[in-house]
Amino acid sequence: MNRRNAYSALNGFRAAWWLPGGHLQSLRRKFGPGVTVAQEGERLPLEDGDFIELAWVRPGGEIAPGDPVVFILHGLCGCSESLYVQALQHHLLARGVASVAMNFRGCSGEPNNKARSYHSGVSADADQVFRKLHERFPDNPFHCVGYSLGGNVLLKWLAETGGPPGLDRAVSISVPFDLAQCSAALGRGLTRYYGRYFLGRLQQDLAAKKRKFRETGNDAELARLEELGPPQGIGSIWEFDDRVTAPLHGFADAADYYAKCSSLPLLAEIRTPTLLIQSADDPLVPAASLPDPTRLPENVRLELTRSGGHVGFFAANGSRLEQAIADFLVC
């Protein structure tokens, strides 16, 4: 990385005094208030008959050849309307930069057409969508931003592909690098309340998909979901991943899923200039699961702040996160 690319506005970050600790920073991001931006939706068909919903923000409604485009991946139980996604798109719009947020399967408010959904390692879906976008805009440099689960997907994808053609640089934020450690953390202390929230949302999504399949007569896909057994008795994210996520997506169990999809062992394979933004007080990502900066390749930089929570990073004068991301990508 050259000096310009290594710069980040989060250097010296200090959390706002009225938002001390990782929990308050994290909850402030989730529950707002936050900025919103007008998004233009697009349904993109996938090769297996499913679909992905995109949310575009284009300054002036156009993307000229040579203009950068930022590709955004949201986190667990998030979507293109999540406040952190809209905050970034709003900030990029003010800089005249186009962006497109990808909703993972089933995350756009409508259940997808397949029993399979999304998880922390769905790099194939990100790759397919990105390649379709790059084919449409071959003369435009792309950058990618991934939050939390989406950040893990991003890093796994970068490592697997060696950096897809057309993607210039990337930023990941609050990544659960070691999925097993982070899943276990969701069952401990105050963090278990986050785990309960995520579990409830995932169970609701599963129930909604079953209803859709019954109403539309999609018996084959409904049968795949029914084979997983009744959801009653699932009491943690680990159990959900063991009984639902893993078998639905071809993994032996939760441990197999976590081992094969964690980005931590793959970071040395990344060739794209990449910034990792993490906070030491992130309640969802244990400090022990963070990568050792001395073992990262030269093109991958870890910026670890003392405070900031999970996708928080609110200083006294507002969020510093969007500025840091944009400075690294497009300035």
Active site members: 148, 282, 310
Question: Which of 46, 57, 51, 77 lies closest to 197 in space, CA to CA?
Answer: 77
What percent helix, strand, coil does the chain show, rounded to 5? 45, 15, 40
Rounded to whole angstroms, how far apart are CA atoms 60 and 151?
29
Can you name the residues that pair with 52 across neighbouring β-strands? Answer: 44
Count CB-CB contacts under 10 A for residue 214: 11
The number of helices, as runs of H, and strands, as runs of E, in the chain is 12, 10
Q: Is 205 exposed, middle or buried (0-12, 13-18, 19+ CB in 10 A)?
A: middle
Rounded to whole angstroms, how far apart are CA atoms 2 and 274?
12
Query: Any long-range contacts for 12-17 (C-beta under 8 Å, 24+ apart)?
Result: 13/305, 13/306, 13/307, 13/308, 13/313, 13/315, 13/320, 14/307, 14/315, 14/316, 15/307, 15/308, 15/309, 15/312, 15/313, 15/314, 15/315, 16/314, 16/315, 16/316, 17/316
Can you name the residues that pair with 279 across neighbouring β-strands? Answer: 305
- Cis, peptide link before residue 33, omega less than 30° from 0: yes
Helix (H, G, I), strand (E, B) or coil at 76: coil
